Structure 1
């Protein structure tokens, strides 16, 4: 069928954009860890196809692209061939400041036919701390530079005024400017490939409509098999000495899923607030994970509705800080959605539940450096088998930063990198084990950690035990899950990530 060929081709275009972005980026965070995502959307701003990239990015495109287009319309900013828009305002883009988005219109024979869009995590976007994810931030202004949707290119020419803002505010501009150009190139490639489809098959917009409808029908057919009802669950985030509740009422209906976060903790003066795009991404990821083979485009996303009161952890009011909401609260929203789904489906126990964000940097040999990475953990035990050890879970889909790359480019020396044996929860099916990653500083620097699951380990299911909580030490001294600290040459930092929860009661023979 013609529409199916076009559907598959458009999905591959998004994948090819991702390959281009990865190969031409300069920062290890994108080039090695693949902390980026790409999609093709139609002229209405609906997702037609997305690559298998970062879950927290992908779902946010559903909200972020429409927000950007609405912003441009409100500001009477018209797009022409060769234009591109850059943006990172979380309250528009739907994630956090580090995720710099680039949106490029696609024209064919003078007519707007869609957009290529990508989002990439820049290792530093300004602000007081290396890595820009600030564990102490009370507002977004303490996390970095806010870029509203503005033209990055005009008729194919780069807007040097925008580039100069990034150059003077991003703390590692060499990486950042290279990554921005890689993002532009990826969108250009996506646009060229879409135009090739138009040249080969004629107007393919109807085929895109059929692709979206196919996804909707397929997803709805799976959801219709689920037991109808309202399922409630609660999970927690750690903040200072408190546990902040995230509550969900998951309503399974004939027409789709409604996730209501009534009763969730109010927004805080801290970085754990998650903008609505993050909350939507996390819910849709959990639901998508239980459906099976379904194309993930507007058809699927149209079946998911999120209700979240303004002024809460899962839908804050600007200028609340949101850097950690993208990387930690997203994990907990996914966890609590899975927990609600465990009331009517067989789902795995909780995974590690933290991205274990490490940010550090300073001046070394007269040059500023900034480093960011996340560390995987254990996945939860499953109804049929054990969890997996040492993997990225839930809302992240990145690789690790190879030790060889990190040591070559930064003043750090790794002292250990291994499985954290015994950290997975016991059960009929054991949770996967976490990771131990340790390194020695070769220069003084500032390090920040933003993590979670240090007080209560990831939950088990059906009688399985919780996974072991996370842990961070500096020279053997334990630190909390969120802190920033000056370290000196020779200091040793050891990160231990949580194991997944166990599934089922352990049978003694």
Structure 2
């Protein structure tokens, strides 16, 4: 049956049914698995694909796990058609990042779905494993110089043959791991999930016809592509840039830059990462598949609202450009195990920032796109694996998911969600403390929201969480590996004049702090850990960590004082933070209006070097083209939307014509001063030279040129 013969009612019924089937498969994994990574944190995902591997139906969990499943299918089709063959009842297992896995701990199982002799689709699932081998527990070796010093990945292998798990391959897979029992349960869950998908899909074929089912999958791709291209066409053409940083490669405190130039022209989006740093001699690198995962997941999350998340449909309108041998397209045998919490995250941040600029430039009519502006959520996370023995001598090991509780980015109309996690992992969760304490010998002192962690703005970024725990009923010390970045500089980018969320951090503190002691006082007696480290946590020693907050949107001095007061009363902003970040003075649990007006007026004068700012002007909008929520283009010149001051030619980098205030990151975020490398970074604010409105912000390396962030074309 031709695709155009598929009636719309049947199409809608089937596409929703396929979504439910896919979600049922993800639920099946959780019911079978014994790992808190899968059962509590939902660090899994499932997908349905076309016969040639186009990813069509995805789950809502970890979106970056499934976008590149197309590469896995294409590898199997290209290499295994004749030997060992691809038949009904077969399944293939891989954790190879150079084929399609985000990193080695993410195990992928895919299965062809046959109706009779005809291949009609593929099912697939991904589950993060507690350990897949390698020289360190948790499979993250921060000092690895190549993939040979990490878990050696398995290329796609036939793990299920004719419906039966091959014991020889299963043993080969499980013997690598320090947690073989948990990995075995996850494998069974994935096999069960794929079988369920096949059964449900064939039930649809029996009811509606195989051609109808196949055409539905293809129609989903083409319909999504059409919708996405129409949305792109409605947005202004231009070029947008962002540079993100990650520090420390695991052995040396080197800085790597992920640089994106995003071009939107007509119905096409180009994401060009070719100017990013060369690949590292450590596992912070992303393979091409990992970069595809993070870039396309961000595009779908930020521009795909109101559309089905069909990766193949979006990919058809996106040109992703990388340079092999770079930190976002590592060349074999580069180490890559840390990529999902390193280069991959900053790929997402770059896409997030550039799309926010595109939407902010569109803005109107009636705020239709301006309300879709979203600052960056947490980017860096204090990821951690632990291993040791219980007091009974039983070995244990796992990855803790405390690092998922970062802040969400502020929106163009509202604050960011507090402790909401990562944009591209909407279905992810953090394991309950009680579950962790039940399974592992540690005791939490607190899990709580961290005041002042959300990025300041007219709309505040979401605050993050902080944690404190210590060994409890353990047979000695813990061995732990922490792998993060953004402890020296914030990585959760603010947009549209908003400021970044607070950086992440990890510390070891002697003894057991009182739970009522402020976090700053607890940290004062501790030792800050670098972004990557393998250390021991001794008995009677407390491990502290905190996640990054979300970025803000808009000038913080525009935030109404009563909203700042509400945040103070809720414990989300401190009194000092209200004054420092928002210019709001609070006395006797109320806003002091006179002192607040005076402070904010003085702040604006300071922005202009002591000059009085111009008052707002009644600016007519006709004949003006929006550049951002703060700036317009009028007759080839950039002008302030608030006071109508002429700033400079529209062909120039407008930031160079704004008033620039640059200060060390260590002054803006004093906690970063614990790390010597933080002195390399600066925080830049850009102000209108007329009214002193904050127009833009930027994190940069000291002495680095100002990024030309936004160019619009006629």
> What TM-score, normalized to structure 2?
0.69
Q: Cα distance, 1:287 vs. partner?
A: 1.8
Higher mean C-alpha displacement, 330-339 vs 136-145 = 136-145
Residue in structure 2 matching 1:446, options 472, 479, 490: 479
Unaligned runs of 5+ in 1: none
Residue 18 of structure 1 pairs with residue 26 of structure 2: yes
Structure 2 equivalent of residue 296 of structure 1: 309
| Greater CA drift, 279-288 or 79-88 | 279-288
**Residues 1:307 and 2:330 are matched in the alignment:** no
- Within the candidate set 348, 355, 359, 1:334 is matched to 348
In the alignment, the residues of structure 2 paired with residue 302 and residue 72 of structure 1 have an alpha-carbon distance, to the nearest angstrom, of 26
The one of 332, 340, 355 equivalent to 1:318 is: 332
Give the CA deviation at 1:166: 2.6
**In structure 2, distance between residues paired with 1:162 and 1:367:** 27
State how 1:13-162 maps to structure 2 within 5 Å.
Answer: 13-73=21-81, 76-162=83-169
In the alignment, the residues of structure 2 paired with residue 329 and residue 360 of structure 1 have an alpha-carbon distance, to the nearest angstrom, of 23
Contact 1:238 1:453 in 2 (8 A): yes
Q: Distance in 1 between matches of 2:73 and 2:308?
A: 19
> Match for 1:257 among 266, 269, 288?
269
Displacement of 1:418 after TM fit?
0.3
Q: Residues 200-239 of structure 1: matches in 2 within 5 Å?
A: 200-203=207-210, 204-239=213-248
Cα offsets for 1:128-182 (capped at 9, x unmatched): 2121122222222222242111111111121111111233220011101111011
1:466 equivalent in alignment to 2:475: no
Please report the TM-score for the alignment, with normalisation by the length of structure 1: 0.96
Asked if residue 489 in structure 1 is aligned to residue 523 in structure 2, the reply is no
Instruction: Check the 8 A contact 2:32/2:189 in 1, yes or no.
Output: yes
Alpha-carbon offset, residue 187 of structure 1: 0.3
Bigger Rg, structure 1 or 2: 2
Contact 2:377-2:421 at 8 Å conserved across structures: no
- C-alpha contact (below 8 Å) 1:331/1:395 kept by paired residues: no
Work out whether residues 302 and 355 of structure 2, in 8 Å CA contact, stay in contact via their aligned partners in 1.
Answer: no
* Conserved? CA contact 1:87–1:101, under 8 Å: yes
Structure-1 separation of matches of 2:129 and 2:104: 9
Per-residue deviation, 1:405: 1.0
The question of 1:175 aligning with 2:182 is answered yes
Contact 2:247/2:485, CA 8 A, preserved across alignment: yes
Whole-angstrom CA distance in 2 between matches of 1:489 and 1:39: 43
Separation of aligned partners in 2, 1:464 and 1:130: 40
Q: Please identify, of 286-295 and 469-478, the stretch whose mean Cα deviation from structure 2 is larger.
A: 286-295
TM-align CA RMSD: 1.6
Residue 259 of structure 2 aligns to a residue in which SS? strand
With over 3 angstroms needed to count, the CA separation of the structure-2 counterparts of 1:133 and 1:68, relative to structure 1, is: farther
| Local SS of the residue matching 1:9 | helix
Q: Deviations over 1:428-449 (max 9, x none)?
A: 1111111111110133121111
Q: Is the 8 A contact 2:101 2:107 kept in 1?
A: no
Gaps of 5+ in 2: 1-8, 361-372, 510-525, 559-582, 584-596, 598-714
Aligned with residue 415 of structure 2, among 379, 386, 389: 386
Choose between structure 1 and 2 for higher RCO, CA contacts under 8 A separated by at least 6 residues. 1
> May I ask how many residue pairs the two structures share in their alignment?
508
Does structure 1 retain, via aligned residues, the 8 Å contact 2:301–2:423?
no
Aligned equivalent of 1:435: 465
Equivalence for 1:275: 287
Q: Deviation of residue 242 (structure 1)? A: 2.9
**Distance between the aligned counterparts of 1:252 and 1:149, measured in 2?**
36
Please report how far the alpha carbon of residue 349 of structure 1 lies from its aligned counterpart in structure 2 after TM superposition: 2.4
1:357 aligned partner: 383
Preserved CA contact (<8 Å) 2:377 2:406 = yes
For 1:60 and 1:381, the matched residues in 2 are separated by 29
Cα 1:229–1:63, aligned 2, differ >3 Å: closer, same or farther?
A: farther
1:472-501 deviations in whole A, cap 9, x for unaligned? 111121111111112222221010112122
- Give the Cα separation in 2 of the matches to 1:151 and 1:131: 25
Q: Distance in 1 between matches of 2:301 and 2:160?
A: 37
